Chain A
Amino acid sequence: MIEVKDLHKSFGEAHILKGITTTFDKGKTNLIIGQSGSGKTVFLKCLLGLFDYEEGSIAYDGEIFSQLTEDEKRNLRAKIGMVFQGSALFDSLTIAENVMFPLRMFTKQSKSEMQDRVDFVLKRVNLEDAHKKKPSEASGGMQKRVAIARAIVNNPKYLFCDEPNSGLDPKTAIVIDNLIKEITEEYQITTVINSHDMNSVMEIGEKIVFLKNGFKEWEGSKDTIFITDNESVTDFVYSSNLFKKVRRMYLDENQ
């Protein structure tokens, strides 16, 4: 579980995060949503330890990040898996080498043990035959799956995903969403996804945190988002006619 308390982050005069308090539960897919410029990416980078913050705290299973020594922070980071928006695969390595990378860096496993683990996770993300390809030879959906494989290969306790569906067709996006949800439940990971894909919100949003102008405007789940009367949330989530109709149908069915 990740607990965030009264988090503040500024860049010079610009106050980006204004006192965010929330928790992200283990074994659940937690989504951070909000308009562009609402502070989602900054929030995610604070959670990852890439940005320092001025006030507040972030605790990973009770360990407050800012109070850890450099070595403890490094050990904690080894338990974090991250799927970047653009996948961030290493161009010079093959897909198998990319997935093996965290094992080479942080474990003392033999080459055959690492190879077995890589085979297993690549099979888990349905990429059995892609070992020798370079990232540039893989499609966007394949690259995302490789990024997920790399993120989970070292059995992380925390999985962060920044816009995992961006640039993907709707069918592939659903495959990626379901894969993340399955992996989260299977390995009991605390997963935090930064998204503005409404399909993801409806499909896998077991907990949803809505940010607006650096504040936590609302939090709930994919079920409560249908019945909320928070105008900022409804304006954002039901901005398209399709989602307005879906909501109306849901409310009619549940009246």
Chain B
Amino acid sequence: MTYLHNIGAYFLMIAEMFRKPTKWSVMKQLILKDIDDLIIGSLGIVAFIAFFVGGVVTIQTALNISNPLIPKYLVGFATRQSIVLEFAPTFISIIMAGKVGSFITSSIGTMRVTEQIDALEVMGINSLNYLVFPKFIALMLYPFVISIAMFLGILGGMAACVYGGFSSLEDYIIGIQTDFIPFHITYAFIKTVVFAFVLATIPSFHGYYMKGGALEVGKASTTSFVWTSVVIILLNYLLTQMLLS
């Protein structure tokens, strides 16, 4: 029953988020601040992880191709497919559930504990619109982060391939162009937008409705990470089934 209650409360929260909008001059600043915190602030870690994981994917693929009949360009092809289809949209989203998700939960949770949310409500402000809506809008730029992750992942793969001596640069470039299906990019960005919505709303839900003190803020952050990851993995399965099969 608790799960059903929470699911209902989550959807009511989303509906409430769009009601009684905050004054645009204030909202604009909140959105810009959240873009800085959630998007710009995540670029460094996303770039670092994407580059090196791209390299590792390439090395693993190259080392597992021992048959001399398999062309060398397959390393580039496999790296591109892994990164564009799964690594960038899904794996990075799980990392963002930890980084951005726990930031959202703890910042909103702390506002709840210190009565800052009550202060907003007393003033007649729709606190859900004030707190969650700018995060939702900011995370609509999340596909931009994922594009960078895709680019750097493939670049990292190329660096590992060439400097590790697994294949030539020409083979790798031929590989990443082989059998390219533009819909795969569309599929990846559809997933990214859905995951962005999940990343903005589930951690906000856990922060907004938490009860207790500082210890509970920590627990809420952990719970939010777990549930955001679970929902991303489930939606990843459903979207892949619907869009690719």
CB within 8 Å of B: which residues of A? 48-50, 70, 73-78, 80, 82, 84-86, 88-92, 101-102, 104-106, 160
The complex places the Cα of A91 from the Cα of B22 at a distance, in Å, of 19
CB contacts (< 8 Å) of B20 on chain A: these are 70, 74
Interface-side segment among B75-83, B111-119, B154-162: B111-119
Decide: B23 and A85 in contact? CB cutoff 8 A: no
The complex places the Cα of A26 from the Cα of B219 at a distance, in Å, of 45
The complex places the Cα of A41 from the Cα of B115 at a distance, in Å, of 13
Decide: B125 and A105 in contact? CB cutoff 8 A: yes
Decide: B26 and A104 in contact? CB cutoff 8 A: yes
CB contacts (< 8 Å) of A70 on chain B: these are 20
Decide: A104 and B23 in contact? CB cutoff 8 A: yes
Across the interface, A88 reaches (CB within 8 A) one of B25, B26, B116, namely: B116
B130, closest chain A residue (CB): A105
With A82-B119, A104-B23, A105-B26 known to touch, is A88 a contact of B114 (CB < 8 Å)? yes
Is B124 an interface residue when CB atoms closer than 8 A count as contact? Answer: yes
Across the interface, B121 reaches (CB within 8 A) one of A50, A85, A102, namely: A50
Is B238 an interface residue when CB atoms closer than 8 A count as contact? Answer: no
A21 to chain B, nearest CB (A): 24
Task: Tally chain B residues at the interface, Cβ within 8 Å.
Answer: 18
CB within 8 Å of A: which residues of B? 20, 22-23, 25-26, 33, 110-111, 114-116, 118-119, 121-125
Across the interface, B122 reaches (CB within 8 A) one of A80, A86, A92, namely: A80
CB contacts (< 8 Å) of A92 on chain B: these are 33
Across the interface, B114 reaches (CB within 8 A) one of A48, A73, A78, A86, namely: A86
The complex places the Cα of A248 from the Cα of B110 at a distance, in Å, of 46
With A74-B20, A104-B26, A105-B26 known to touch, is A50 a contact of B124 (CB < 8 Å)? no
B22, closest chain A residue (CB): A105
With A74-B20, A104-B23, A104-B26 known to touch, is A84 a contact of B124 (CB < 8 Å)? no
The complex places the Cα of A207 from the Cα of B114 at a distance, in Å, of 29
Across the interface, A74 reaches (CB within 8 A) one of B111, B115, B124, namely: B124
Which of A86, A101, A105 has most B Cβ within 10 Å?
A: A105
With A74-B20, A104-B26, A105-B23 known to touch, is A85 a contact of B124 (CB < 8 Å)? no
Decide: B116 and A78 in contact? CB cutoff 8 A: no
CB contacts (< 8 Å) of B125 on chain A: these are 105
B47 to chain A, nearest CB (A): 26
Chosen A-B contacts, 10 in total, with CB atoms closer than 8 Å, are A70-B20, A75-B124, A80-B122, A82-B119, A84-B115, A89-B116, A92-B33, A105-B22, A105-B26, A160-B122
The complex places the Cα of A49 from the Cα of B110 at a distance, in Å, of 22
Decide: B118 and A102 in contact? CB cutoff 8 A: no
Decide: A50 and B118 in contact? CB cutoff 8 A: yes
Across the interface, A78 reaches (CB within 8 A) one of B26, B115, B119, B123, namely: B123
With A104-B26, A105-B23 known to touch, is A77 a contact of B116 (CB < 8 Å)? no
CB contacts (< 8 Å) of B26 on chain A: these are 104-105
Across the interface, B118 reaches (CB within 8 A) one of A80, A84, A101, namely: A84
With A104-B25, A104-B26 known to touch, is A86 a contact of B115 (CB < 8 Å)? yes
B115, closest chain A residue (CB): A88
A217 to chain B, nearest CB (A): 27
A148 to chain B, nearest CB (A): 13
A95 to chain B, nearest CB (A): 15
CB contacts (< 8 Å) of B25 on chain A: these are 104
Across the interface, A73 reaches (CB within 8 A) one of B110, B115, B119, B124, namely: B124
The complex places the Cα of A165 from the Cα of B36 at a distance, in Å, of 38
The complex places the Cα of A82 from the Cα of B116 at a distance, in Å, of 11
A218 to chain B, nearest CB (A): 28
Decide: B122 and A77 in contact? CB cutoff 8 A: yes
The complex places the Cα of A131 from the Cα of B111 at a distance, in Å, of 22
A34 to chain B, nearest CB (A): 20
The complex places the Cα of A160 from the Cα of B125 at a distance, in Å, of 17
A111 to chain B, nearest CB (A): 10
Decide: A50 and B122 in contact? CB cutoff 8 A: yes
